[in-house]
Structure 1
Amino acid sequence: MKIEDYELLLKLNEMGTIRSTARAILISQPAVTQRLKYIENYFGVTIFIRTPKRLVLTPSGEIILNHAREVIQNENRLKNKLAQSSDDVQGTLSIACSSLISQRFLPAILGEYTSKYPKVIIDLVTGISEDIKYNHKDYHVSIIRGEKLKETTCMHLFEDPLYIFDTVPFPEKQIKERPLISFKSDDSMHELVDNWLYYNSDIIKPQRAIAVDQIETCKQFMKQGIGMAVLPESVSEKMKNEYPHLPLMIGEKPVTRSTWVCYEEGARQLPQVDAFLTILTNQPFLNSRYDGD
Protein backbone atom coordinates (compact mmCIF):
# COMPACT_ATOMS: atom_id res chain seq x y z
CA MET A 1 0.00 0.00 0.00
CA LYS A 2 1.22 3.47 -0.92
CA ILE A 3 0.48 6.65 1.00
CA GLU A 4 -1.49 7.79 -2.07
CA ASP A 5 -3.83 4.80 -1.61
CA TYR A 6 -4.70 5.87 1.91
CA GLU A 7 -5.20 9.44 0.70
CA LEU A 8 -7.55 8.14 -2.01
CA LEU A 9 -9.70 6.31 0.54
CA LEU A 10 -10.06 9.47 2.62
CA LYS A 11 -10.92 11.51 -0.46
CA LEU A 12 -13.56 8.94 -1.55
CA ASN A 13 -15.13 9.12 1.89
CA GLU A 14 -15.06 12.93 1.81
CA MET A 15 -16.47 13.37 -1.71
CA GLY A 16 -18.98 10.51 -1.52
CA THR A 17 -18.80 9.38 -5.16
CA ILE A 18 -16.19 8.03 -7.52
CA ARG A 19 -17.10 10.68 -10.08
CA SER A 20 -16.58 13.65 -7.75
CA THR A 21 -13.39 12.11 -6.36
CA ALA A 22 -11.97 11.67 -9.86
CA ARG A 23 -12.70 15.33 -10.60
CA ALA A 24 -11.10 16.46 -7.34
CA ILE A 25 -7.84 14.57 -7.87
CA LEU A 26 -7.78 15.06 -11.65
CA ILE A 27 -7.72 11.44 -12.80
CA SER A 28 -10.27 9.34 -14.68
CA GLN A 29 -13.19 7.52 -13.05
CA PRO A 30 -11.99 4.10 -14.33
CA ALA A 31 -8.59 4.75 -12.73
CA VAL A 32 -10.21 5.54 -9.38
CA THR A 33 -12.45 2.46 -9.63
CA GLN A 34 -9.49 0.24 -10.50
CA ARG A 35 -7.41 1.61 -7.61
CA LEU A 36 -10.26 1.10 -5.13
CA LYS A 37 -10.73 -2.48 -6.34
CA TYR A 38 -7.00 -3.13 -5.80
CA ILE A 39 -7.15 -1.73 -2.24
CA GLU A 40 -10.21 -3.81 -1.37
CA ASN A 41 -8.53 -6.93 -2.78
CA TYR A 42 -5.40 -6.10 -0.78
CA PHE A 43 -7.33 -6.02 2.50
CA GLY A 44 -9.78 -8.73 1.46
CA VAL A 45 -12.86 -6.76 2.48
CA THR A 46 -15.40 -4.37 0.97
CA ILE A 47 -14.59 -0.83 2.06
CA PHE A 48 -17.45 1.02 0.36
CA ILE A 49 -20.93 -0.14 -0.67
CA ARG A 50 -21.85 1.45 -4.02
CA THR A 51 -25.36 2.94 -3.90
CA PRO A 52 -27.05 5.08 -6.60
CA LYS A 53 -26.50 8.25 -4.56
CA ARG A 54 -23.16 7.82 -2.80
CA LEU A 55 -20.54 5.48 -1.41
CA VAL A 56 -21.44 4.05 2.00
CA LEU A 57 -18.64 3.07 4.34
CA THR A 58 -18.79 -0.49 5.70
CA PRO A 59 -17.77 -1.41 9.29
CA SER A 60 -14.52 -2.86 7.91
CA GLY A 61 -14.11 0.30 5.89
CA GLU A 62 -14.37 2.44 9.03
CA ILE A 63 -11.50 0.49 10.59
CA ILE A 64 -9.38 0.90 7.47
CA LEU A 65 -10.12 4.63 7.19
CA ASN A 66 -9.10 5.17 10.82
CA HIS A 67 -5.87 3.37 10.00
CA ALA A 68 -5.46 5.52 6.87
CA ARG A 69 -5.73 8.70 8.95
CA GLU A 70 -3.10 7.43 11.36
CA VAL A 71 -0.75 6.48 8.52
CA ILE A 72 -1.04 9.91 6.91
CA GLN A 73 -0.64 11.72 10.25
CA ASN A 74 2.48 9.69 11.06
CA GLU A 75 3.86 10.37 7.59
CA ASN A 76 3.33 14.11 8.06
CA ARG A 77 4.93 14.04 11.51
CA LEU A 78 7.98 12.28 10.06
CA LYS A 79 8.26 14.82 7.24
CA ASN A 80 7.98 17.68 9.73
CA LYS A 81 10.71 16.22 11.95
CA LEU A 82 12.99 15.76 8.97
CA ALA A 83 12.29 19.35 7.87
CA GLN A 84 13.13 20.65 11.35
CA SER A 85 16.41 18.71 11.47
CA SER A 86 17.57 19.89 8.05
CA ASP A 87 19.73 22.95 7.44
CA ASP A 88 17.66 23.69 4.31
CA VAL A 89 14.05 24.83 4.36
CA GLN A 90 12.20 21.89 2.88
CA GLY A 91 9.26 19.55 3.49
CA THR A 92 5.60 20.14 2.71
CA LEU A 93 3.71 23.36 3.35
CA SER A 94 -0.07 22.86 3.41
CA ILE A 95 -2.16 25.99 2.89
CA ALA A 96 -5.92 26.51 2.83
CA CYS A 97 -6.76 29.88 1.34
CA SER A 98 -9.86 31.95 0.65
CA SER A 99 -10.60 31.94 -3.08
CA LEU A 100 -10.43 35.72 -3.30
CA ILE A 101 -7.01 35.89 -1.64
CA SER A 102 -5.73 32.99 -3.73
CA GLN A 103 -6.72 34.79 -6.94
CA ARG A 104 -5.67 38.30 -5.97
CA PHE A 105 -2.54 38.00 -3.83
CA LEU A 106 -1.33 34.43 -3.44
CA PRO A 107 0.31 33.89 -6.87
CA ALA A 108 2.85 36.65 -6.26
CA ILE A 109 3.42 35.54 -2.66
CA LEU A 110 3.99 31.90 -3.62
CA GLY A 111 6.18 33.00 -6.50
CA GLU A 112 8.45 34.82 -4.06
CA TYR A 113 8.34 31.91 -1.60
CA THR A 114 9.15 29.15 -4.08
CA SER A 115 12.01 31.13 -5.59
CA LYS A 116 13.58 31.38 -2.13
CA TYR A 117 12.71 27.87 -0.97
CA PRO A 118 12.53 25.61 -4.03
CA LYS A 119 12.76 22.39 -1.98
CA VAL A 120 9.40 22.99 -0.25
CA ILE A 121 6.40 21.16 -1.68
CA ILE A 122 3.26 23.33 -1.71
CA ASP A 123 -0.04 21.61 -0.88
CA LEU A 124 -2.73 24.22 -1.62
CA VAL A 125 -6.50 24.09 -1.23
CA THR A 126 -8.75 27.07 -2.04
CA GLY A 127 -12.39 27.66 -1.23
CA ILE A 128 -14.81 29.71 0.83
CA SER A 129 -13.74 30.62 4.34
CA GLU A 130 -16.50 28.65 6.11
CA ASP A 131 -15.28 25.38 4.59
CA ILE A 132 -11.68 26.19 5.44
CA LYS A 133 -12.59 26.93 9.06
CA TYR A 134 -14.34 23.58 9.36
CA ASN A 135 -11.27 21.67 8.13
CA HIS A 136 -8.51 24.00 9.36
CA LYS A 137 -6.72 21.30 11.37
CA ASP A 138 -5.83 19.58 8.09
CA TYR A 139 -3.51 22.45 7.11
CA HIS A 140 -0.42 24.19 8.45
CA VAL A 141 -1.81 27.62 7.55
CA SER A 142 -5.34 28.92 6.91
CA ILE A 143 -5.94 32.28 5.22
CA ILE A 144 -9.56 33.25 5.82
CA ARG A 145 -12.01 36.11 5.55
CA GLY A 146 -14.47 37.32 8.18
CA GLU A 147 -14.08 36.19 11.78
CA LYS A 148 -10.76 34.72 12.92
CA LEU A 149 -10.44 31.09 13.96
CA LYS A 150 -10.93 30.37 17.63
CA GLU A 151 -8.34 28.34 19.53
CA THR A 152 -5.61 29.10 16.98
CA THR A 153 -2.92 31.73 16.62
CA CYS A 154 -4.22 34.39 14.22
CA MET A 155 -2.58 37.44 12.68
CA HIS A 156 -4.58 40.20 11.05
CA LEU A 157 -3.50 40.84 7.45
CA PHE A 158 -5.76 43.69 6.31
CA GLU A 159 -9.23 45.24 6.26
CA ASP A 160 -11.00 45.16 2.92
CA PRO A 161 -13.62 47.92 2.46
CA LEU A 162 -16.80 47.06 0.54
CA TYR A 163 -18.28 49.16 -2.28
CA ILE A 164 -21.47 48.90 -4.31
CA PHE A 165 -20.93 49.41 -8.05
CA ASP A 166 -23.21 49.95 -11.02
CA THR A 167 -23.11 51.31 -14.54
CA VAL A 168 -25.98 53.63 -13.63
CA PRO A 169 -25.28 56.61 -11.31
CA PHE A 170 -26.55 56.58 -7.73
CA PRO A 171 -29.14 59.37 -7.33
CA GLU A 172 -28.83 61.59 -4.27
CA LYS A 173 -32.47 62.12 -3.26
CA GLN A 174 -34.38 59.12 -4.53
CA ILE A 175 -34.38 55.37 -4.06
CA LYS A 176 -32.33 53.40 -6.53
CA GLU A 177 -34.12 50.25 -7.73
CA ARG A 178 -31.91 47.82 -9.65
CA PRO A 179 -31.16 44.08 -9.63
CA LEU A 180 -28.44 43.08 -7.17
CA ILE A 181 -25.81 40.58 -8.34
CA SER A 182 -24.08 38.48 -5.69
CA PHE A 183 -21.28 35.91 -5.88
CA LYS A 184 -20.81 32.72 -3.89
CA SER A 185 -19.25 33.51 -0.53
CA ASP A 186 -19.62 32.55 3.11
CA ASP A 187 -22.53 33.66 5.29
CA SER A 188 -20.58 36.44 7.00
CA MET A 189 -20.17 38.30 3.68
CA HIS A 190 -23.88 38.04 2.88
CA GLU A 191 -24.76 39.19 6.40
CA LEU A 192 -22.65 42.34 5.97
CA VAL A 193 -24.42 43.20 2.72
CA ASP A 194 -27.90 42.39 4.05
CA ASN A 195 -27.26 44.47 7.16
CA TRP A 196 -26.10 47.42 5.07
CA LEU A 197 -29.14 47.17 2.79
CA TYR A 198 -31.42 47.15 5.84
CA TYR A 199 -29.87 50.34 7.23
CA ASN A 200 -29.89 52.01 3.79
CA SER A 201 -33.32 50.94 2.55
CA ASP A 202 -34.13 54.62 1.96
CA ILE A 203 -31.55 54.87 -0.85
CA ILE A 204 -31.11 51.32 -2.24
CA LYS A 205 -33.88 48.86 -3.04
CA PRO A 206 -32.83 45.73 -4.96
CA GLN A 207 -35.47 44.71 -7.51
CA ARG A 208 -34.38 41.08 -7.47
CA ALA A 209 -31.34 38.96 -6.65
CA ILE A 210 -29.03 37.44 -9.25
CA ALA A 211 -26.63 34.82 -7.84
CA VAL A 212 -23.46 33.72 -9.66
CA ASP A 213 -20.69 31.37 -8.61
CA GLN A 214 -17.53 33.46 -9.09
CA ILE A 215 -16.63 37.01 -8.11
CA GLU A 216 -15.22 37.64 -11.61
CA THR A 217 -18.57 36.65 -13.15
CA CYS A 218 -20.27 39.08 -10.77
CA LYS A 219 -17.95 41.88 -11.91
CA GLN A 220 -18.53 41.18 -15.59
CA PHE A 221 -22.32 41.08 -15.16
CA MET A 222 -22.18 44.46 -13.43
CA LYS A 223 -19.97 45.92 -16.17
CA GLN A 224 -22.54 44.82 -18.76
CA GLY A 225 -25.24 46.83 -16.99
CA ILE A 226 -27.17 43.81 -15.67
CA GLY A 227 -27.33 45.18 -12.15
CA MET A 228 -25.52 46.40 -9.04
CA ALA A 229 -22.76 44.45 -7.29
CA VAL A 230 -21.12 44.72 -3.86
CA LEU A 231 -17.40 44.08 -4.23
CA PRO A 232 -14.37 44.23 -1.92
CA GLU A 233 -11.81 46.93 -2.70
CA SER A 234 -9.16 44.22 -3.18
CA VAL A 235 -10.79 43.16 -6.47
CA SER A 236 -12.30 46.47 -7.56
CA GLU A 237 -9.80 49.22 -6.78
CA LYS A 238 -9.32 50.28 -10.42
CA MET A 239 -13.06 50.11 -11.11
CA LYS A 240 -13.63 53.15 -8.89
CA ASN A 241 -12.25 55.34 -11.68
CA GLU A 242 -14.65 53.88 -14.26
CA TYR A 243 -18.00 53.07 -12.65
CA PRO A 244 -20.44 54.82 -10.30
CA HIS A 245 -20.03 53.48 -6.78
CA LEU A 246 -20.70 54.08 -3.11
CA PRO A 247 -18.70 52.92 -0.10
CA LEU A 248 -20.73 50.74 2.25
CA MET A 249 -21.15 52.76 5.45
CA ILE A 250 -23.30 52.31 8.54
CA GLY A 251 -23.38 55.69 10.23
CA GLU A 252 -19.82 56.94 9.91
CA LYS A 253 -18.27 53.48 10.03
CA PRO A 254 -17.15 51.75 6.81
CA VAL A 255 -18.25 48.14 6.25
CA THR A 256 -15.14 45.99 5.80
CA ARG A 257 -14.04 42.36 5.54
CA SER A 258 -11.17 41.24 7.76
CA THR A 259 -8.53 38.89 6.39
CA TRP A 260 -6.61 36.64 8.79
CA VAL A 261 -3.85 34.06 8.67
CA CYS A 262 -4.33 31.37 11.33
CA TYR A 263 -2.29 28.36 12.38
CA GLU A 264 -2.18 25.77 15.14
CA GLU A 265 0.07 26.24 18.15
CA GLY A 266 3.56 24.98 17.35
CA ALA A 267 3.17 25.06 13.56
CA ARG A 268 5.60 27.95 13.30
CA GLN A 269 8.36 25.75 14.68
CA LEU A 270 8.43 24.16 11.22
CA PRO A 271 10.93 26.13 9.11
CA GLN A 272 8.80 25.99 5.95
CA VAL A 273 5.79 27.39 7.84
CA ASP A 274 7.77 30.11 9.57
CA ALA A 275 9.34 31.18 6.27
CA PHE A 276 5.94 31.41 4.58
CA LEU A 277 4.38 33.39 7.44
CA THR A 278 7.32 35.80 7.40
CA ILE A 279 6.83 36.50 3.69
CA LEU A 280 3.04 36.66 4.00
CA THR A 281 2.94 39.13 6.89
CA ASN A 282 5.41 41.45 5.18
CA GLN A 283 3.21 41.91 2.11
CA PRO A 284 1.74 45.33 1.22
CA PHE A 285 -1.86 44.19 0.74
CA LEU A 286 -4.11 46.55 -1.25
CA ASN A 287 -0.91 48.09 -2.62
CA SER A 288 -0.14 48.91 -6.23
CA ARG A 289 2.48 46.16 -6.28
CA TYR A 290 -0.35 43.68 -6.77
CA ASP A 291 -2.14 44.81 -9.89
CA GLY A 292 -5.59 43.28 -10.00
CA ASP A 293 -8.64 43.72 -12.17
Structure 2
Amino acid sequence: MRIDDYELLLKLQEIGTIRGTAKAILISQPAVTQRLKYIEEYFGQPIFIRTPKQLVPTPSGEIILKHAQKVVKGEAAIMNKLAQSSNTIQGTLSIACSSLISQRFLPAILGEYTAKYPNVTIDLVTGISEDIKRNHKDYHVCIIRGQKLKESTCISLFEDPLYIFDTEPFPKNRMKERPLISFKSDDSMHELVDNWLYHHNDLIQPLKAITVDQIETCKQFMKQGIGMAVLPQSVSDSMKKDYPHIALELDGKPVTRHTWLCYQEGVRKLPQVDLFIKELAKQTFL
Protein backbone atom coordinates (compact mmCIF):
# COMPACT_ATOMS: atom_id res chain seq x y z
CA MET A 1 0.00 0.00 0.00
CA ARG A 2 1.26 3.45 -0.94
CA ILE A 3 0.59 6.68 0.89
CA ASP A 4 -1.52 7.96 -2.00
CA ASP A 5 -3.74 4.85 -1.68
CA TYR A 6 -4.49 5.79 1.91
CA GLU A 7 -5.04 9.40 0.84
CA LEU A 8 -7.50 8.18 -1.80
CA LEU A 9 -9.51 6.30 0.84
CA LEU A 10 -9.71 9.43 2.99
CA LYS A 11 -10.76 11.53 0.00
CA LEU A 12 -13.49 9.01 -0.87
CA GLN A 13 -14.71 9.18 2.72
CA GLU A 14 -14.67 12.99 2.68
CA ILE A 15 -16.48 13.48 -0.65
CA GLY A 16 -18.69 10.42 -0.51
CA THR A 17 -18.81 9.54 -4.22
CA ILE A 18 -16.41 8.03 -6.73
CA ARG A 19 -17.40 10.60 -9.36
CA GLY A 20 -16.82 13.56 -7.02
CA THR A 21 -13.49 12.15 -5.84
CA ALA A 22 -12.28 11.61 -9.39
CA LYS A 23 -13.13 15.22 -10.20
CA ALA A 24 -11.38 16.50 -7.07
CA ILE A 25 -8.10 14.65 -7.64
CA LEU A 26 -8.15 15.11 -11.43
CA ILE A 27 -8.13 11.48 -12.55
CA SER A 28 -10.76 9.43 -14.37
CA GLN A 29 -13.68 7.77 -12.60
CA PRO A 30 -12.68 4.26 -13.84
CA ALA A 31 -9.17 4.84 -12.45
CA VAL A 32 -10.58 5.63 -9.00
CA THR A 33 -12.83 2.55 -9.17
CA GLN A 34 -9.86 0.35 -10.15
CA ARG A 35 -7.66 1.67 -7.35
CA LEU A 36 -10.42 1.16 -4.78
CA LYS A 37 -10.89 -2.41 -6.04
CA TYR A 38 -7.14 -3.03 -5.60
CA ILE A 39 -7.17 -1.63 -2.05
CA GLU A 40 -10.17 -3.73 -1.06
CA GLU A 41 -8.47 -6.84 -2.50
CA TYR A 42 -5.31 -5.96 -0.56
CA PHE A 43 -7.20 -5.88 2.74
CA GLY A 44 -9.55 -8.69 1.75
CA GLN A 45 -12.52 -6.66 2.94
CA PRO A 46 -15.06 -4.32 1.32
CA ILE A 47 -14.36 -0.79 2.54
CA PHE A 48 -17.45 1.00 1.22
CA ILE A 49 -21.03 0.08 0.39
CA ARG A 50 -22.12 1.78 -2.85
CA THR A 51 -25.54 3.33 -2.25
CA PRO A 52 -27.34 5.43 -4.92
CA LYS A 53 -26.36 8.66 -3.17
CA GLN A 54 -23.01 8.07 -1.49
CA LEU A 55 -20.33 5.66 -0.31
CA VAL A 56 -20.96 4.31 3.18
CA PRO A 57 -18.04 2.75 5.12
CA THR A 58 -18.50 -0.86 6.16
CA PRO A 59 -17.52 -1.89 9.73
CA SER A 60 -14.21 -3.17 8.32
CA GLY A 61 -13.94 0.03 6.28
CA GLU A 62 -14.21 2.17 9.40
CA ILE A 63 -11.23 0.32 10.90
CA ILE A 64 -9.23 0.69 7.68
CA LEU A 65 -10.09 4.41 7.39
CA LYS A 66 -8.90 5.07 10.94
CA HIS A 67 -5.68 3.29 10.06
CA ALA A 68 -5.39 5.42 6.90
CA GLN A 69 -5.68 8.60 8.97
CA LYS A 70 -2.85 7.45 11.25
CA VAL A 71 -0.64 6.49 8.30
CA VAL A 72 -1.13 9.80 6.47
CA LYS A 73 -0.60 11.88 9.60
CA GLY A 74 2.46 9.82 10.53
CA GLU A 75 3.96 10.29 7.09
CA ALA A 76 3.40 14.06 7.25
CA ALA A 77 4.97 14.21 10.73
CA ILE A 78 8.11 12.37 9.53
CA MET A 79 8.44 14.63 6.49
CA ASN A 80 8.11 17.71 8.68
CA LYS A 81 10.79 16.47 11.09
CA LEU A 82 13.12 15.78 8.19
CA ALA A 83 12.41 19.27 6.83
CA GLN A 84 13.36 20.83 10.16
CA SER A 85 16.68 18.98 10.25
CA SER A 86 17.67 19.66 6.65
CA ASN A 87 19.53 22.61 5.21
CA THR A 88 17.43 22.28 2.05
CA ILE A 89 13.95 23.76 2.21
CA GLN A 90 11.69 20.77 1.66
CA GLY A 91 8.75 18.92 3.18
CA THR A 92 5.04 19.52 2.74
CA LEU A 93 3.26 22.88 2.88
CA SER A 94 -0.42 22.32 3.64
CA ILE A 95 -2.70 25.23 2.69
CA ALA A 96 -6.46 25.69 2.94
CA CYS A 97 -7.54 28.74 0.98
CA SER A 98 -10.72 30.65 0.23
CA SER A 99 -11.87 29.96 -3.33
CA LEU A 100 -11.78 33.63 -4.30
CA ILE A 101 -8.21 34.11 -3.07
CA SER A 102 -7.08 30.87 -4.70
CA GLN A 103 -8.45 32.04 -8.06
CA ARG A 104 -7.37 35.66 -7.93
CA PHE A 105 -4.06 35.80 -6.05
CA LEU A 106 -2.69 32.40 -5.04
CA PRO A 107 -1.45 31.11 -8.45
CA ALA A 108 1.11 33.93 -8.78
CA ILE A 109 2.15 33.66 -5.12
CA LEU A 110 2.64 29.90 -5.31
CA GLY A 111 4.41 30.28 -8.63
CA GLU A 112 7.06 32.50 -7.04
CA TYR A 113 7.28 30.31 -3.95
CA THR A 114 7.75 27.02 -5.81
CA ALA A 115 10.34 28.63 -8.08
CA LYS A 116 12.38 29.52 -4.98
CA TYR A 117 11.74 26.26 -3.11
CA PRO A 118 11.19 23.50 -5.70
CA ASN A 119 11.64 20.69 -3.16
CA VAL A 120 8.55 21.71 -1.18
CA THR A 121 5.40 19.68 -1.84
CA ILE A 122 2.25 21.84 -1.95
CA ASP A 123 -0.89 20.30 -0.45
CA LEU A 124 -3.71 22.72 -1.35
CA VAL A 125 -7.41 22.62 -0.54
CA THR A 126 -9.77 25.40 -1.65
CA GLY A 127 -13.34 26.12 -0.64
CA ILE A 128 -15.71 28.25 1.38
CA SER A 129 -14.17 29.89 4.45
CA GLU A 130 -16.74 28.35 6.82
CA ASP A 131 -15.76 24.84 5.67
CA ILE A 132 -12.08 25.64 6.07
CA LYS A 133 -12.63 26.94 9.61
CA ARG A 134 -14.21 23.66 10.70
CA ASN A 135 -11.10 21.70 9.71
CA HIS A 136 -8.42 24.37 10.17
CA LYS A 137 -6.21 22.20 12.37
CA ASP A 138 -5.66 19.84 9.44
CA TYR A 139 -3.58 22.48 7.63
CA HIS A 140 -0.40 24.42 8.26
CA VAL A 141 -1.96 27.72 7.14
CA CYS A 142 -5.46 28.89 6.32
CA ILE A 143 -6.37 31.88 4.15
CA ILE A 144 -9.94 32.80 4.96
CA ARG A 145 -12.50 35.57 4.48
CA GLY A 146 -14.76 37.14 7.07
CA GLN A 147 -14.06 36.59 10.76
CA LYS A 148 -10.60 35.44 11.82
CA LEU A 149 -10.02 32.07 13.44
CA LYS A 150 -10.25 31.81 17.20
CA GLU A 151 -7.33 30.28 19.11
CA SER A 152 -5.04 30.90 16.14
CA THR A 153 -2.44 33.44 15.17
CA CYS A 154 -4.00 35.60 12.45
CA ILE A 155 -2.37 38.16 10.17
CA SER A 156 -4.57 40.66 8.33
CA LEU A 157 -3.82 40.48 4.60
CA PHE A 158 -6.29 43.06 3.24
CA GLU A 159 -9.80 44.48 3.40
CA ASP A 160 -11.87 44.03 0.26
CA PRO A 161 -14.55 46.73 -0.34
CA LEU A 162 -17.90 45.58 -1.73
CA TYR A 163 -19.75 47.14 -4.69
CA ILE A 164 -23.15 46.49 -6.21
CA PHE A 165 -23.09 46.30 -10.03
CA ASP A 166 -25.77 46.30 -12.71
CA THR A 167 -26.12 46.97 -16.41
CA GLU A 168 -28.79 49.55 -15.56
CA PRO A 169 -28.11 52.85 -13.74
CA PHE A 170 -28.71 53.32 -10.01
CA PRO A 171 -31.19 56.23 -9.75
CA LYS A 172 -30.75 58.66 -6.88
CA ASN A 173 -34.32 59.76 -6.33
CA ARG A 174 -36.43 56.67 -6.97
CA MET A 175 -36.57 53.01 -6.04
CA LYS A 176 -34.50 50.51 -8.03
CA GLU A 177 -36.20 47.14 -8.34
CA ARG A 178 -34.14 44.37 -9.93
CA PRO A 179 -33.32 40.67 -9.35
CA LEU A 180 -30.30 40.13 -7.10
CA ILE A 181 -27.74 37.54 -8.21
CA SER A 182 -25.58 36.03 -5.48
CA PHE A 183 -22.84 33.41 -5.52
CA LYS A 184 -22.17 30.57 -3.11
CA SER A 185 -20.26 31.99 -0.15
CA ASP A 186 -20.14 31.76 3.64
CA ASP A 187 -22.80 33.26 5.89
CA SER A 188 -20.73 36.31 6.82
CA MET A 189 -20.78 37.53 3.20
CA HIS A 190 -24.54 37.14 2.94
CA GLU A 191 -25.01 38.90 6.29
CA LEU A 192 -23.03 41.92 5.06
CA VAL A 193 -25.17 42.19 1.93
CA ASP A 194 -28.48 41.61 3.73
CA ASN A 195 -27.61 44.23 6.36
CA TRP A 196 -26.71 46.79 3.72
CA LEU A 197 -29.92 46.10 1.77
CA TYR A 198 -31.96 46.45 4.96
CA HIS A 199 -30.51 49.92 5.60
CA HIS A 200 -31.10 50.95 1.95
CA ASN A 201 -34.53 49.42 1.36
CA ASP A 202 -35.87 52.85 0.41
CA LEU A 203 -33.52 52.90 -2.61
CA ILE A 204 -32.96 49.29 -3.68
CA GLN A 205 -35.48 46.46 -3.58
CA PRO A 206 -34.46 43.02 -4.89
CA LEU A 207 -37.37 41.50 -6.83
CA LYS A 208 -36.11 37.94 -6.42
CA ALA A 209 -32.94 36.07 -5.55
CA ILE A 210 -30.87 34.18 -8.10
CA THR A 211 -28.13 31.99 -6.61
CA VAL A 212 -25.24 30.55 -8.63
CA ASP A 213 -22.29 28.42 -7.58
CA GLN A 214 -19.30 30.51 -8.70
CA ILE A 215 -18.44 34.19 -8.44
CA GLU A 216 -17.43 34.21 -12.12
CA THR A 217 -20.88 32.89 -13.07
CA CYS A 218 -22.41 35.66 -10.97
CA LYS A 219 -20.40 38.26 -12.89
CA GLN A 220 -21.41 36.87 -16.27
CA PHE A 221 -25.11 36.81 -15.32
CA MET A 222 -24.88 40.44 -14.25
CA LYS A 223 -23.11 41.41 -17.49
CA GLN A 224 -25.94 39.85 -19.47
CA GLY A 225 -28.43 42.15 -17.77
CA ILE A 226 -30.12 39.44 -15.69
CA GLY A 227 -29.87 41.42 -12.46
CA MET A 228 -27.71 43.15 -9.86
CA ALA A 229 -24.70 41.55 -8.17
CA VAL A 230 -22.64 42.46 -5.10
CA LEU A 231 -18.97 41.83 -5.85
CA PRO A 232 -15.73 42.48 -3.97
CA GLN A 233 -13.24 44.92 -5.45
CA SER A 234 -10.64 42.15 -5.82
CA VAL A 235 -12.62 40.58 -8.67
CA SER A 236 -14.46 43.59 -10.07
CA ASP A 237 -12.05 46.53 -10.18
CA SER A 238 -11.71 46.36 -13.98
CA MET A 239 -15.52 46.42 -14.37
CA LYS A 240 -16.04 49.85 -12.82
CA LYS A 241 -15.49 51.77 -16.03
CA ASP A 242 -17.97 49.64 -17.99
CA TYR A 243 -20.89 49.03 -15.61
CA PRO A 244 -22.98 51.20 -13.28
CA HIS A 245 -22.09 50.55 -9.65
CA ILE A 246 -22.15 52.00 -6.17
CA ALA A 247 -19.96 51.28 -3.17
CA LEU A 248 -21.58 49.60 -0.20
CA GLU A 249 -21.34 51.95 2.78
CA LEU A 250 -22.89 52.15 6.22
CA ASP A 251 -22.61 55.27 8.40
CA GLY A 252 -20.15 56.70 5.89
CA LYS A 253 -17.78 53.71 6.13
CA PRO A 254 -17.17 51.16 3.38
CA VAL A 255 -18.54 47.66 3.83
CA THR A 256 -15.59 45.30 3.41
CA ARG A 257 -14.65 41.65 3.49
CA HIS A 258 -11.60 40.96 5.61
CA THR A 259 -9.01 38.41 4.47
CA TRP A 260 -6.84 36.65 7.07
CA LEU A 261 -3.82 34.39 7.12
CA CYS A 262 -4.23 32.07 10.13
CA TYR A 263 -2.03 29.35 11.60
CA GLN A 264 -1.47 27.37 14.79
CA GLU A 265 1.39 28.20 17.12
CA GLY A 266 4.42 26.05 16.42
CA VAL A 267 4.04 25.58 12.67
CA ARG A 268 6.53 28.35 11.95
CA LYS A 269 9.24 26.03 13.26
CA LEU A 270 8.86 24.31 9.90
CA PRO A 271 11.07 26.30 7.49
CA GLN A 272 8.83 25.75 4.47
CA VAL A 273 5.81 27.08 6.39
CA ASP A 274 7.65 30.03 7.91
CA LEU A 275 8.94 31.13 4.50
CA PHE A 276 5.49 30.90 2.94
CA ILE A 277 3.97 33.00 5.73
CA LYS A 278 6.69 35.62 5.21
CA GLU A 279 6.08 35.63 1.45
CA LEU A 280 2.33 36.02 1.92
CA ALA A 281 2.57 38.73 4.57
CA LYS A 282 4.61 41.00 2.30
CA GLN A 283 2.22 40.78 -0.66
CA THR A 284 0.20 43.78 -1.85
CA PHE A 285 -3.25 42.52 -2.78
CA LEU A 286 -5.25 45.63 -3.72
Shorter-chain TM-score bucket reads: over 0.9
Structure 1 partner of 2:132: 132
Superposed, which structure 2 residues align to 1:71-90 within 5 Å? 71-90=71-90
2:271 matches 1:254: no
Structure 1 residue ranges without an equivalent (≥5): 287-293
Q: CA deviation at 1:253?
A: 2.2
Superposed, which structure 2 residues align to 1:215-226 within 5 Å? 215-226=215-226
- Tell me the alpha carbon deviations over residues 199-245 of structure 1, each in whole angstroms, 9 at most, x when there is no partner: 11001001111222211121122222221111101111122222221
Structure 1 partner of 2:16: 16
Q: Secondary structure at the match of 2:75?
A: helix
Structure 1 partner of 2:55: 55
Report the Cα distance in structure 2 between the residues aligned to 1:30 and 1:107, rounded to whole angstroms.
30
Superposed, which structure 2 residues align to 1:90-129 within 5 Å? 90-129=90-129
Structure 1 partner of 2:146: 146
Q: CA deviation at 1:163?
A: 0.7
Structure 2 partner of 1:68: 68
Report the Cα distance in structure 1 between the residues aligned to 2:168 and 2:52, rounded to whole angstroms.
49
- The one-letter amino acid paired with 1:61 is G
Aligned length: 286
Q: CA deviation at 1:28?
A: 2.4
Report the Cα distance in structure 1 between the residues aligned to 2:227 and 2:280, rounded to whole angstroms.
35
Report the Cα distance in structure 1 between the residues aligned to 2:224 and 2:54, rounded to whole angstroms.
40
Report the Cα distance in structure 2 between the residues aligned to 1:29 and 1:214, rounded to whole angstroms.
24
TM-score w.r.t. structure 2 length?
Answer: 0.96
Q: Secondary structure at the match of 2:65?
A: helix
2:277 matches 1:277: yes
Q: CA deviation at 1:34?
A: 2.2
Q: Secondary structure at the match of 1:225?
A: coil
Structure 1 partner of 2:211: 211
Q: CA deviation at 1:13?
A: 1.1
CA gap of 1:118–1:40, structure 2 versus 1, over 3 A, is: same
Q: Secondary structure at the match of 2:162?
A: strand
- The one-letter amino acid paired with 2:128 is I
Structure 1 partner of 2:267: 267
Superposed, which structure 2 residues align to 1:222-237 within 5 Å? 222-237=222-237
Report the Cα distance in structure 2 between the residues aligned to 1:126 and 1:13, rounded to whole angstroms.
17
Structure 1 partner of 2:180: 180
Superposed, which structure 2 residues align to 1:2-13 within 5 Å? 2-13=2-13
Q: Secondary structure at the match of 2:240?
A: helix
Report the Cα distance in structure 2 between the residues aligned to 1:136 and 1:209, rounded to whole angstroms.
31
Structure 2 residue ranges without an equivalent (≥5): none
TM-score w.r.t. structure 1 length?
Answer: 0.94
CA root-mean-square deviation? 1.3
Q: CA deviation at 1:141?
A: 1.0
- The one-letter amino acid paired with 1:196 is W
Mean CA deviation greater in 73-82 or 212-221? 212-221
2:171 matches 1:191: no
